[in-house]
Amino acid sequence: MKNPASTGLPLLLLVLAACATQPISEPRAVDPIANSPTTRPVPTRELSRLEGNVVRHVINGQVFYYVRSPCCDFHNYLYAADGSYVCAPDGGFTGKGDGRCPPDISVKHSEGVVVPNPFYRP
């Protein structure tokens, strides 16, 4: 009968050798907000494929489109009429959005109308 310690030692040495050959990289600063899946708006080039409700808001004379995310704990996004990303006014884990909305823009204080995707391009 073999000693269990003698069979495990070569395996342990092999694993340690493999780990020792991996390059060690310096830790990088990571912006948790920018890299969170809940804060990634749909890129402008992909807006034509949005599914779900798009709500048109007119705020301070400007047209904005509010896009609800398909599920819980994701941000809901606000886009300008040209398709550029503005901010996430609500949603996410806290329900308070990404905190980047200008103070004069609020979808909670304006009436919106559900519209077909205005960015749709066949």
Please give the biggest Cα pair distance in the chain.
85
- Express as a percent the part of the chain with pLDDT over 70: 63
58, part of any domain? yes
Number of domains in the chain: 1
Mean pLDDT over 62-85 rounds to: 89
For the chain, give the mean pLDDT: 74
pTM of the model: 0.61
Instruction: Count CB atoms within 10 A of the CB of residue 107.
Output: 18
pLDDT for residue 78: 92
99, part of any domain? yes
Domain of residue 80 covers: 49-115
17, part of any domain? no
